[in-house]
């Protein structure tokens, strides 16, 4: 059997351990409350609030954020729904008119716009080839893919020796690719 002095030492160390554990738990909760309080926007920074009020504010703020997220998701779905409709338009457009070509002359700058389907990528390389054959300097070429449609934009610089007949010939050669 244990002596009374051993029991009292053991019980006092157990009590001290319990006190230490409880103190640590309270300090941890205090730190967590403080962190939670820093995450929530404050209306009035001058008056400190009681912990239950801070928790209520945090709960209300989280509910508000959830409703904002739901609203944003609905807005996103509505926009994507519009995108689905427009993508069906683009697939209709690309099936019924696979290639559209527009040539514009503005001073010494030539702008060639090609609208093709994904399956008609060769039109772009042919347009570049035709421009080089006609001694037109290609300055920049860009493309953008949206659904099944590819928009090519070619910026070119024409020399002084190039006439409007040359531009008409380029337009005619490019228009052969239109359906």
- Measured distance CA(166)–CA(178) in Å, rounded: 19
Give the CATH H-level superfamily of domain 97-175.
ACT domain (3.30.70.260)
pTM over 0.75: no
Q: What is the pLDDT of residues 86-116, one digit of tens each?
A: 444 444 444 455 788 888 888 888 899 988 8
Burial of 82 (0-12, 13-18, 19+ CB in 10 A): exposed
- Measured distance CA(60)–CA(38) in Å, rounded: 15
Q: State how far Cα 44 lies from the chain centre.
A: 35
Q: What is the pLDDT of residues 132-161, one digit of tens each?
A: 988 888 999 999 888 888 899 999 988 777
**How much is the pLDDT for 95?**
47
| Predicted confidence (pLDDT) at residue 24 exceeds the cutoff of 80 | yes
**How much is the pLDDT for 10?**
59
Helix, coil or strand: residue 134: coil
Q: State how far Cα 179 lies from the chain centre.
A: 36
Q: At what angle do helices 122-133 and 164-175 cross, to 10 degrees?
A: 160
């Amino acid at each position: 059997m244990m002596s009374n002095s051993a029991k009292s030492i053991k019980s006092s160390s157990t009590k001290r351990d319990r006190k230490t554990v409880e103190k640590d738990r309270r300090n941890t909760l205090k730190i967590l409350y403080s962190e939670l309080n820093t995450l929530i926007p404050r209306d009035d920074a001058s008056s400190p609030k009681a912990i239950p009020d801070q928790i209520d504010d945090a709960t209300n703020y989280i509910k508000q954020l959830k409703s904002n997220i739901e609203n944003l998701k609905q807005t996103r779905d509505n926009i994507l729904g519009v995108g689905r409709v427009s993508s069906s338009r683009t697939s209709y457009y690309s099936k019924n008119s696979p290639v559209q070509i527009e040539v514009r002359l503005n001073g010494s700058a030539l702008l060639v716009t090609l609208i093709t389907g994904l399956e008609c990528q060769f039109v772009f390389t042919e347009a570049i080839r035709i421009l080089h054959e006609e001694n037109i300097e290609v300055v920049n070429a860009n493309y953008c893919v949206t659904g099944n449609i590819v928009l090519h934009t070619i910026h070119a610089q024409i020399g002084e020796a190039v006439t409007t007949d040359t531009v008409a010939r380029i337009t005619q050669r490019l228009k052969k690719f239109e359906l």
